[in-house]
């Protein structure tokens, strides 16, 4: 009989593709909970709030109204116009709706941006510790992934001087992210000014600014959008979306403002990849931008209270020190004093205390010695979680 054993030959590039470990922790936490363990999940990077009712209703209405077909690949015009109006309201900038491309979440923009610039011989810079998909996709593209450090001593802000010093002739794209995942760090305006000024000496370098947490800043901090710098508009990709701001992670809706020269390229990538975002989700997104914003304000106010609580509680733990987290919904304490590595702490806190967190090393090698706590959970659960960890330590 003929040998029917399959001998599939997967592409080499797959060996360079990483992952997002938060999803692995989520699966493990879910498994332990299914076994009857009482698990508090501080590992997950999504708001613990529901999508506001009026947004859900708009999605349902869109389905009832018969919006069942394809939409333009770059998004329905009314939604792109609403994005431009929202950016004008929030950042005081003029955006051409034709430069807005709506995609299924925040991630497709980073994937497309990296694929557009990345290939063997090219260099792309990314923050470390940072959102793990940056490094993963850069390597997948065949480009060299060049990390720059986000350091605790700088409040996890990037240093413009450091970033600029790493630019070479091969650099094609720099990725920045403020407020940042996993550190909660917010880069101050002076540093962003310096970066933009320095970039003018390097006209071959594009910039992707991931501003998905642009509405989550605390302690009087204000978001600085890279859109506010007209001198780099022709090379800026500004990523934002609905996932975090409107508690819509599962809807899959995001957008970016692209430089004019890249709009056709990204639109073709959309056509090749997903055709368009599902129509009902786009109508929900339109209601989110044009409707009342009080749910956003309330959610951010809750996050702020939890942030104060968790930073204080973490600083009281033996061997732990936690910087003031200025944005997003993450605290990123230094745990070196506990004698545990990041991965040991992640595993022991989950297995022995029933608290899910994510090891700093899941966000790049320079995350060793840190642990990410998401405070997208109730104050009660946060207090209980830290008290369990205190007992364990
Ligand atoms: N950018 C950053 C910095 C994030 O933390 C995340 C999600 O955690 C995303 C982008 C992706 O968001 P989305 O779920 O909309 O793809």
Please give the Cα distance from 188 to 159 (Å, whole number). 10
Say which residue the tokens 């009902």 belong to: 280
What's the mean pLDDT in 176-183?
A: 98
Q: Which atom of ligand 1 is nearest to the CA of 254?
A: 15
Q: Whose CA is nearest to atom 8 of ligand 1?
A: 45
CATH 3.40.640.10 fits 68-290, yes or no: yes
Among 103, 130, 244, say which to mutate for ligand 1: greatest number of ligand atoms within 8 Å of CB.
244
CATH ID of 12-50+294-392, from 3.10.440.10, 3.30.70.1140, 3.90.1150.10, 3.40.50.1370: 3.90.1150.10
What's the mean pLDDT in 110-130?
A: 98
Q: Comparing C-alpha atoms, which of 176, 220, 185, 187 is closest to residue 325?
A: 185
Task: Evaluate whether 182 touches 133 at the Cβ level (below 8 Å).
Answer: no
Q: Whose CA is nearest to atom 12 of ligand 1?
A: 106
* Whether the predicted pLDDT of 3 surpasses 90: no
253: CB partners within 8 A, 6+ apart: 102, 104, 105, 241, 242, 243, 277, 281, 282, 284, 285
Please give the Cα distance from 384 to 318 (Å, whole number). 17
Q: Whose CA is nearest to atom 11 of ligand 1?
A: 106
Please give the Cα distance from 41 to 333 (Å, whole number). 17
Cis peptide preceding 129, ω within 30 of 0? yes
Question: Where, residue-wise, is CATH 3.40.640.10 in the chain?
Answer: 68-290
Token pair of 126 as six digits: 């990314």
* Whether the predicted pLDDT of 249 surpasses 80: yes
Ligand 1 center–CA 211 separation, angstroms: 9
Token pair of 8 as six digits: 């599939």
Q: Which atom of ligand 1 is nearest to the CA of 328?
A: 5
Res. 1 pLDDT band, cuts 50 70 90 = low
| DSSP code at position 158 | P
- Give the angle subtended at the CA of 267 by the CAs of 255 and 169, to the nearest 5°: 85
Q: Whose CA is nearest to atom 13 of ligand 1?
A: 106
The pLDDT assigned to 45 comes to: 84
Q: What is the pLDDT of residues 199-232, one digit of tens each?
A: 999 999 999 999 999 999 999 999 999 999 999 9
Q: Comparing C-alpha atoms, which of 157, 131, 165, 166 is closest to residue 367?
A: 131
**Which residues are near ligand 1 (CB < 6 Å)?**
45, 105-107, 131, 177, 181, 210, 212, 241, 243, 249, 254
Please give the Cα distance from 25 to 378 (Å, whole number). 19
Question: Where, residue-wise, is CATH 3.90.1150.10 in the chain?
Answer: 12-50+294-392
């Amino acid at each position: 009989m003929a040998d029917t054993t399959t001998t599939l030959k997967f592409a080499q590039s797959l060996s360079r593709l990483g992952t997002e470990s938060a999803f692995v922790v989520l699966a493990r936490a879910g498994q332990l909970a299914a076994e009857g363990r009482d698990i508090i999940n501080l590992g997950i990077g999504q708001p613990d709030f529901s999508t506001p009712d009026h947004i859900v209703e708009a999605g349902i209405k869109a389905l009832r109204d018969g919006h069942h077909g394809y939409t333009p690949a770059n998004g329905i015009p009314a939604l792109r116009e609403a994005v431009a109006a929202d950016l004008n309201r929030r950042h005081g900038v003029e955006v051409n709706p034709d430069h807005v491309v709506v995609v299924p979440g925040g991630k497709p923009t980073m994937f497309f941006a990296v694929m557009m610039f990345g290939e063997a011989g090219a260099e792309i810079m990314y923050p470390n510790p940072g959102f793990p998909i940056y490094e993963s996709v850069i390597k997948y593209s065949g480009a060299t992934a060049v990390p720059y450090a986000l350091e605790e001593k700088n409040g996890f802000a990037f240093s413009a001087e450091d970033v600029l010093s790493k630019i070479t002739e091969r650099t094609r794209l720099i990725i920045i992210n403020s407020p940042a995942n996993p550190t909660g760090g917010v880069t101050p305006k002076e540093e962003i000014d310096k970066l933009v000024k320095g970039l003018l000496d390097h006209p071959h370098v594009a910039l992707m600014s991931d501003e998905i947490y642009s509405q989550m800043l605390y302690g009087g901090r204000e978001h600085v959008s890279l859109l506010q710098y007209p001198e780099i508009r022709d090379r800026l990709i500004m990523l934002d979306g609905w996932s975090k701001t409107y508690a819509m992670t599962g809807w899959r809706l995001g957008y970016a403002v692209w430089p004019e020269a890249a709009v056709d390229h990204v639109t073709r990538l959309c056509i090749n990849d997903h055709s368009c975002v599902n129509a009902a989700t786009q109508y929900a997104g339109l209601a989110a931008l044009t409707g009342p914003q009080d749910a956003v304000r309330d959610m951010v106010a809750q996050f702020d209270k939890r942030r104060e609580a968790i930073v204080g509680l973490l600083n009281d733990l033996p061997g732990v020190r936690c910087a003031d987290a200025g944005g997003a919904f993450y605290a990123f304490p230094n745990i070196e004093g506990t004698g545990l590595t990041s991965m040991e702490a992640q595993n022991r806190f989950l297995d022995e205390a029933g608290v899910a967190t994510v090891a700093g090393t899941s966000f790049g090698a320079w995350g060793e010695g840190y642990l990410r706590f998401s405070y997208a959970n109730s104050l009660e659960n946060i207090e209980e979680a830290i008290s369990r960890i205190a007992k364990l330590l």
